[in-house]
Amino acid sequence: MFLAYLISILILAAIGIILAVSLQLTVGFTGLLNLGHLAFYAIGAYTSALLALAGYPFWFCILTAGVLAMFFGFLISLPINKIKKDYLALATMGFSFVVYAVLLNWTDLTNGPLGLAGIPRPQLFGFDFSQNSNFLLLVAIIALASYLIIKLITISPFGRVLESIRDNELAAKILGKNTFKMKMCAMGASAFFAGVAGSLYAYYITYLDPSSADIMQLIPFLAIVIIGGLGSLEGTVVAAIVLTFLPEPLRFIGFPSSIIGAARQVIYALFLLLILIFKPKGFYGKVKLE
Amino acid sequence: MIFAQLFANGLIAGAIYSLVALGFSLIYSTCNFIDFAHGVTVAVGAYLLYFFFSLLGLNFWLSVILTIIFTGLFGLLLNIVVFKELRRRKASNLILLTASFALLIIFESLILILFGADVKTIGYIQVSRGLDILGAIITPLQIIIIIVSFLLLVIFFFFMKKSKIGKAMRAVSDNKDVAEIVGISAERIYNWSFFIGSAVAGIGGILVGLDQNLVPTMGTGLMIKGFAAAIIGGIGSPIGAVLGSYLLGFGENFGIWYLPSGYKDAIAFVILFIFLLLRPQGILGKKK
């Protein structure tokens, strides 16, 4: 009983790690305050769910989910040199609203507010991942791979250019770097992993509705990125695990279930606010949000 | 027929958005950051009216006045407790923006915890039959909304042009350092901006709360529309904010001639996006 509960939280933590680490790539490393990350996540989740329901194999669904999310990541970053700083935050948040509206209203495809039910659990090389413990293994491997790939990106010369864009874009331009292309690639890669995380979430939860794209749901991941510290992947992973477990005691205090969701949001948002005031670099961060 | 109705709907939507956009534009132009908490301020206004009038049973007009004052104080409190503290620590405007986003989530969730997620109605104005004006059905309350919004704009405009505080606000938004050199306290002006901007948002919340139902997340959608309107119209220009609001109101309502009505929210953002790309300073804004 307790083990099953632990496994379900660990699965969500692993998905959270993928989502937070990919968000870190844009917010922390490239300095783009992207408030539309959940839109990519939802695009991935719906793509994957629809393909899985149509009977396509796991590897195909998850990759298509990532690639389609990446496509939208490129698309949204086309005007990235004209829309900057706080306007970028507003524009990406707006993108999130548009995706939410489409998921809610394109009922022929997404089944609207009723959502998609009965998404099958994945099978790969004859292995069946319908058991949560097996699924945890799968998610953990993909989370580790995502972490390593993003780590490689950030320590590569490309990653150093991204950090130089964050710290001083003009200087990066003077050195002849095509900052537009670099920012676009960062957004694309970040969106790809958000799509992958969305795909895993759809497979895990087996039921999907538009609330997964709700802007309110961004707060835990934004909190993880900033509390962990901008520009620190290790910090992000630690924060993702800690923050996933943090509100769990609420379940045992005996709050009614309708309040637990709201209470969780308050905890995350309050924690984020306190960090912004008292420790704006987060726990392992190198820079402040600018 | 349908044209007249869509026109009327556009007018009402524009009037409501302009109340949100005015406050947002004021706060953004003086304090120089996007205040997402402005969205929940609208909801706080509506729920305060519900609290004073429907729960405590106070006189309606007394409730309205208390609501406006307390909503203004709510904004002021946020500024003093959170944003002032952040500014003292030399936080960038993106940190202020993120903090305001956290505040939005905190207070929306708190409203949900305190009042419940179910829909509330204030029920002061009985459901009345709409008036038929040139083929469009408008309720008396909706006419009041349009008139109040227009009156507020006029008051606001003269306040900014003629009053001492209004002038100081424009000075701070123009150039904070110079304003401080001539003896204007920027922090005091920030407080005033938050108080007045939030009170206007509170009036918006009251009107929306009387016209529609109350849900904890009611402010988010309005906030997004108000922000979009203020940016379309030109930040820092109250007339621009109102112009943008009506443009958005009409754009949305005529847009659903072609699109399902659920896409209303998306239309606002597409218009905003086009403006950010082609004319980021807005219709009336000055190029920086």
Domain-embedded: residue B286: no
More confident residue, B8 or A48: A48
% of chain A with per-residue pLDDT over 70:
100
Domain-embedded: residue A202: yes
Domain-embedded: residue B284: no
Rounded Cα distance, A112 and A238, in Å: 36
* Domain residue limits at B136: 2-278
Residue at token pair 């993108």: A95
> Mapping DSSP to helix (H, G, I), strand (E, B) and coil, where does residue A127 land?
strand
Residue at token pair 């106070």: B58
Residues of B in CB contact (< 8 Å) with A are 33-34, 82, 85-86, 89, 91-95, 97-99, 101-103, 105-106, 108-110, 112-113, 116-117, 217, 220, 224, 227-228, 231, 260, 262-266, 269-270, 272-273, 276-277, 280
Average pLDDT, chain A: 88
Domain-embedded: residue B122: yes
**pLDDT (tens digit per residue) in A28-77:** 999 899 999 999 999 999 999 999 998 888 889 999 999 999 999 999 88
Q: What is the pLDDT of residue B287?
A: 59
**pLDDT (tens digit per residue) in A164-201:** 888 888 888 888 888 889 999 999 999 999 999 999 99
> Mapping DSSP to helix (H, G, I), strand (E, B) and coil, where does residue A230 land?
strand
Total tally of structural domains belonging to chain A: 1
Angle, alpha carbons A92-A96-A97 (nearest 5°): 115
- Yes or no, beta carbons of A97 and B99 under 8 Å apart: no
Domain-embedded: residue A259: no
Instruction: Provide the token pair at A90.
Output: 């507003």
Of the candidate ranges A20-29, A44-53, A104-113, B78-87, the one whose mean pLDDT is the lowest: A104-113
pLDDT band (50, 70, 90) for residue B134: confident
Of the candidate ranges A91-105, A231-245, A263-277, B261-275, the one whose mean pLDDT is the lowest: B261-275
Please name the residues in contact with B183: beta carbons below 8 A apart, sequence gap of 6 or more.
Answer: none
pLDDT band (50, 70, 90) for residue A235: very high
Q: What is the pLDDT of residue B126?
A: 63
Rounded Cα distance, B205 and B171, in Å: 29
Instruction: Provide the token pair at B15.
Output: 């009037």
Q: What is the pLDDT of residue B7?
A: 87
Residue B59 belongs to a domain with what CATH number? 1.10.3470
More confident residue, A262 or B132: A262
Residues of B in contact with A100 (CB under 8 A): 265
Domain-embedded: residue A176: yes
Domain-embedded: residue A256: no
pLDDT band (50, 70, 90) for residue B81: very high
**pLDDT (tens digit per residue) in B43-59:** 999 999 999 998 898 88
Instruction: Provide the token pair at A32.
Output: 């783009």
> Within an 8 Å CB–CB cutoff, is residue A262 touching chain B?
yes
Rounded Cα distance, B160 and B155, in Å: 9
Domain-embedded: residue B283: no
| Burial (0-12, 13-18, 19+ Cβ within 10 Å), A11 | buried
Gap from A105 CA to chain B (nearest CA, Å): 6
pLDDT band (50, 70, 90) for residue A126: low
10 Å Cβ neighbour count for A284?
Answer: 18
In this complex, which of A79, A86, A262 lies closest to B113 when CB atoms are compared? A262
pLDDT band (50, 70, 90) for residue B125: low
Q: What is the pLDDT of residue B288?
A: 52
Domain-embedded: residue A249: no
**pLDDT (tens digit per residue) in B187-226:** 889 999 999 999 999 999 998 888 888 888 888 888 888 8
10 Å Cβ neighbour count for B167?
Answer: 14
% of chain B with per-residue pLDDT over 70:
96
Please name the residues in contact with A24: beta carbons below 8 A apart, sequence gap of 6 or more.
Answer: A150, A225, A228, A230, A231, A232, A233, A236
> Mapping DSSP to helix (H, G, I), strand (E, B) and coil, where does residue A218 land?
helix
Q: What is the pLDDT of residue A288?
A: 80
- Yes or no, beta carbons of A86 and B34 under 8 Å apart: yes
Among the listed residues A216, A215, A266, A249, the one whose alpha carbon sits nearest the alpha carbon of residue B113: A266
| ipTM of the prediction | 0.91
Measured over the CA atoms of residue B8, residue B11, residue B15 and residue B20, the dihedral's sign is positive
pLDDT band (50, 70, 90) for residue B3: confident
Overall average pLDDT of the B24-28 stretch: 89
pLDDT band (50, 70, 90) for residue B275: confident
Overall average pLDDT of the B61-68 stretch: 93
* Domain residue limits at A143: 2-214
Q: What is the pLDDT of residue B50?
A: 93
Rounded Cα distance, A29 and A187, in Å: 11
Please name the residues in contact with A240: beta carbons below 8 A apart, sequence gap of 6 or more.
Answer: A13, A16, A17, A20, A21, A224, A228
pLDDT tops 80 at residue A123: no
Domain-embedded: residue A128: yes
Q: What is the pLDDT of residue A217?
A: 87
pLDDT tops 90 at residue B79: yes
Distances from the Cα of A278 to the Cα of A191, A272, A288, B34, angstroms: 30, 10, 12, 21
Residues of A in contact with B110 (CB under 8 A): 262, 266
Total tally of structural domains belonging to chain B: 1
